[in-house]
Structure 1
């Protein structure tokens, strides 16, 4: 069974949102809209061109202490894109919110209501999808076997499912309330972040605002990077070279060397790129103990911090793991008993290389046989560009007033921040930042969790931007302990601004920090093997 943290980050990372800012229905989207037809009347077909939709069940669900009364709709878009849509029966005010998936998806995470200021936050209709297939257990989201010979199922994961579910949901909303939603939003992290960027790039009319967290938009190169993580920490006998027992000492050594570099010794690295830590400083002087690294462990750790390259030194991915992320490597990079002895990076990469990464019928590969060469990188590209969301042309989304919020944790173990930073600078260079923002969150792991900060959700700021024209100038990140107690809050300012302590009060209180410019000029563009991928448009569904 997979660790709860990893499973949560990949499959249920969007089930507990902090919600929208308190906005009255009349100020934002009008008075509450009552249904025009009975909930049960939705259990029928909807003949949408290219997205024939079938509602298999529609029933009223009573209000609870956390949710309003709603019409619970379940169905699928042909051929097999399952979805769930929840429609408030008494408090809907015109907003639609669609959630993204994690990993390879393969299940429908029940969509949660977000707080818009009405009772229980029920003024928003919410939906989620499985991206067109059902994943096998135990982890579901790392299973790609369903796509070995099924191009239609691949199409749904690659690009089609979020778009057709948007169309289906809006048609059902129109039928139920008598009008389509007035404002539509998408939020997702990891694969969901990739989906959000795809929607803005390929289907600019679908959503008014998109939140893309820790996006897996460099999809094919990213899965190659996962194979790299698995390979560099695997000994000849299949055992891990760097073990989970060594991670606390490694992380503590990183903090001892670099915590003070941002001007504050607070247990987190505000920009880990300033940390030039050499794991050789932790080399064992005598016996091998949990507090030191053996020579082969030093070498493996250096490789984990580094991106894969081919024999000519060409980067095959924009960056490696960053200092400060070490504690999150257990389970993702380093297999543990809780992961069944297989790291999640290996599981994802192996499934992709076997079943999803190459055109159907082409010779496949595995983590253990994959060659880190430009030739093999190029072999993955024909199918990879169908998943990727790397286009820099969001002009249609921008022209119609669309707003994009990107965010990423500096300690992300699954998707290193380098790709998001590279993409954002390429995207906004010469175009200003009046429609896109990036927020970089210190110490945050993949989509949530961390050492000092554990939660970040800019959804309410996105809504204020779309509906009031108020561009986000700060989003507060929160840290909680295992009991749910808030241990730290910290402002996160639009990148490249940084948070600087004002010298008074607790360093765990966001109120005691102010924005400051970066300490050095921003140079985030990375020249790598994928330089040509930004100009390749992906396929578009009807």
Structure 2
């Protein structure tokens, strides 16, 4: 929630009415016991079960730095240049109480092993009783979702809403995050967001089933249960509504809650969910394997990635005779650099300029990268199959990034390390991982560079076979009957230019839910979905065109649409959005399976589109 302008209005306009309008929830509002105080007595009085212990209770006054003390607290994100410098400490936006819990049993082992854990860390932020809006609004994690170095030594500042402390202070909701049961790797003073996959392998090289379960599912349920229990104990009355809010791994976590623990939340906001975990993450390594096998280990350069991706945009971004600067419908983009003389080098019969032009083999490498992992390392003619669809076709194992999307995250000079770590776990060989992977058997040695197409397909198959040991990390169960019957509501959104997680995975899942649960008329009563052209793996431009004027949704508004649906029965519908860089450029988001159809005069105006 980098933009917090909607929070105050959200609180003022919706909550008080919600308290009086929902009789079923209001029946729970009677006092239950003497409320707790934000002091040492809370640690002794709050004991929901034998596996849970309070490790910290700390009050913060408005304006106080959000630090825990000790002099080495990293209280803000590290600078983007990779240095160890940190931003100035954030400050509390209102009076707050911080409570940190550890929920065992964790996993025993050598003290210095990444697979050793004392339990699941949960960080809960409580507004003052007078400021509480009777909501719980928790945040999901990102990447491997590990916590700070050591047991709960950090204050959350990386969440989608800028930190759970800000949600509690500005919205007035109880908020929480979890380290999912493991610590993330740290280099010097720099915490690497999401850590790596070292925790998931035991010192003997076997899969760490206990921590996979905590990471994939148990930590999420424990956070929901313990946050509700603490809110009830702290305020002397229960919450009226509980919301999950997550993006990427956090989106996967929200869907896991709906699938496995459907009573935990009333509303779930799901962004770019990392479902189909082993399928899409294994496929994320494919661009690197293409360059190792087809290009002899020579990487496509940043100039080539940008030049050719922008050529794809120019070929596919025209609506109503106007170039949008981004591709609004990647399903119909069949751009093929192998037949585009303007991007081929002179040696390949083209007129493309240096340094961005391509050889014939490099042009076909682009087609492979845009198509996704196949069983034999080939890609069809884009005019026959461009790789974009609801279900994989032919030899395609899983989907890839769309044409025109910025490719450097996956096809840059180094792999996306979550992918190389996962493939190492799937193959049971830590040497395959990148060098940050740590294990007693062997550390990571970039062994992924030697993998063949057959090897990567074997890892893909093994990842699916290992779902029992990975605690069903793929999170792709289409049966949401229990969540629907609980009265839950879910709103999902995904960018069509996501630079890490192909949006087709969300399309695949939503269509499987439609098939499982009786079609759109039935499913849309509780589960709705927006696709966002041009949006990256965040609320930002995901295209290779840095000058694209992109209308993008606002997180606060998406969350507000979810709360209005849950508390007032107002189902999300068409959503007209404006570009922040030029508010005069607008676009329409339609509830899938509808999509915007140009029917007016100006392709840069939302009113020129109808949802069909």
**TM band (smaller chain):** 0.7 to 0.9
Aligned length: 486
User: Contact 2:127/2:169 (CA < 8 Å) preserved in 1?
Assistant: no
Question: Partner residue of 2:344?
Answer: 283
Aligned pairs for 1:367-446 within 5 A: 367-368=448-449, 369=451, 371-372=454-455, 376-384=459-467, 386-429=472-515, 430-431=518-519, 432=522, 433-446=524-537
1:123 alignment partner, one of 172, 176, 192: 172
Judge conservation of contact 1:500–1:515 (CA < 8 Å) in 2. Answer: yes
Match of 2:200 in 1: 147
Give the Å deviation of 1:377: 3.2
Write the deviation string for residues 158-179 of structure 1: whole angstroms up to 9, x where unpaired. Answer: 2211111111111111110112
Displacement of 1:44: 3.9
SS at match of 1:146: helix
Q: Which residue of 2 aligns with 1:57?
A: 56
Cα distance 1:227–1:252, how it changes in 2: closer, same or farther (>3 A)? closer
Return the alpha-carbon distance in structure 2 between the equivalents of residues 390 and 366 of structure 1.
30
The answer as to whether partners of 1:204 and 1:396 remain within 8 angstroms in 2 is yes
- Residues 376 and 37 of structure 1: CA distance in aligned 2, closer, same or farther (over 3 Å): closer
CA deviation profile, 1:462-516 (whole Å, cap 9, x unmatched) = 11100000000133545445xxx86854331211323356746792x65x45432
Query: How is 1:376-525 mapped onto 2 (pairs within 5 angstroms)?
Result: 376-384=459-467, 386-429=472-515, 430-431=518-519, 432=522, 433-450=524-541, 451=548, 452-453=550-551, 456-457=554-555, 458-477=558-577, 479-480=579-580, 488-500=585-597, 503=600, 507=604, 510=606, 512-517=607-612
| Structure 1 CA distance for aligned equivalents of residues 56 and 320 of structure 2 | 54
The CA RMSD over aligned residues, in Å, is: 3.5
**Cα displacement (A) at 1:415:** 1.0
* Equivalences for residues 39-188 of structure 1 within 5 A: 39-40=38-39, 41-44=41-44, 46-48=46-48, 52-64=51-63, 67-78=93-104, 79=106, 80-89=119-128, 90-107=130-147, 109-110=156-157, 112=161, 121-138=170-187, 139-149=192-202, 150-188=208-246
The Cα shift of 1:264 comes to 4.5
Shift of 1:353: 2.3
377-386 or 165-174, larger mean C-alpha shift: 377-386
Deviation at 1:295, TM superposition (A): 2.0
Change (3 A) 1:48 1:120: closer
150-159 or 30-39, larger mean C-alpha shift: 30-39
TM-score by length of 2: 0.71
1:269 deviates by: 1.6
Q: In 1, Cα distance between the equivalents of 2:427 and 2:243?
A: 30
Check conservation: 2:245, 2:269, Cα contact below 8 A: yes
1:275 and 1:132, CA in 2 relative to 1: closer, same or farther beyond 3 A? same
Q: Is the 8 A contact 1:55 1:76 kept in 2?
A: yes
Q: Could you say which residue in structure 2 is the equivalent of 1:211?
A: 269
Residues in 1 aligned to 2:457 and 2:303: alpha-carbon distance in whole angstroms: 35
* Alignment match, 1:350: 420
**Distance in 2, Cα, partners of 1:506 & 1:428:** 31
Counterpart of 1:305 in 2: which secondary structure? helix
Instruction: Supply the distance in 2 between the matched residues of 1:367 and 1:44 (Cα, whole angstroms).
Output: 50
Q: 2-side partners of 1:291 and 1:359: how far apart?
A: 37
1:163 alignment partner, SS class: helix
Q: Are the counterparts in 1 of residues 319 and 603 from structure 2 also a CA contact under 8 Å?
A: no
Number of the residue aligned with 1:531: none
Contact in 2 for aligned 1:357/1:384 (Cα 8 Å):
no
Partner of 1:529: none
2: CA distance, partners of 1:330 / 1:25 = 43
- Equivalences for residues 287-302 of structure 1 within 5 A: 289-302=354-367
CA distance in structure 1 between the partners assigned to 2:325 and 2:92 by the alignment: 35
**TM-score scaled by structure 1?**
0.80
Q: 1:226 to 1:114 in 2, by over 3 A?
A: closer
Distance 1:439 1:197, change over 3 A: same
| In structure 2, distance between residues paired with 1:306 and 1:372 | 18
Q: CA deviation at 1:99?
A: 0.8
Structure number with larger C-alpha Rg: 2
Q: Equivalents in 2 of 1:133, 1:408: separation in Å?
A: 28
C-alpha separation in 2, matches of 1:379 and 1:15: 39
Conserved 8 A contact 2:532-2:552? no
Unaligned runs of 5+ in 2: 21-25, 64-90, 107-118, 149-155, 203-207, 378-392, 431-438, 542-547
Higher relative contact order (CA 8 A, sep 6+): 1
Determine the C-alpha separation between the residues in 1 that align with 2:146 and 2:139.
14
Q: Secondary structure at the match of 2:259?
A: helix
2:411 is matched with which residue: 305, 312, 333?
333
Q: Which moved more, 1:243-252 or 1:197-206?
A: 243-252
**Alpha-carbon separation, structure 2, partners of 1:142 and 1:487:** 41
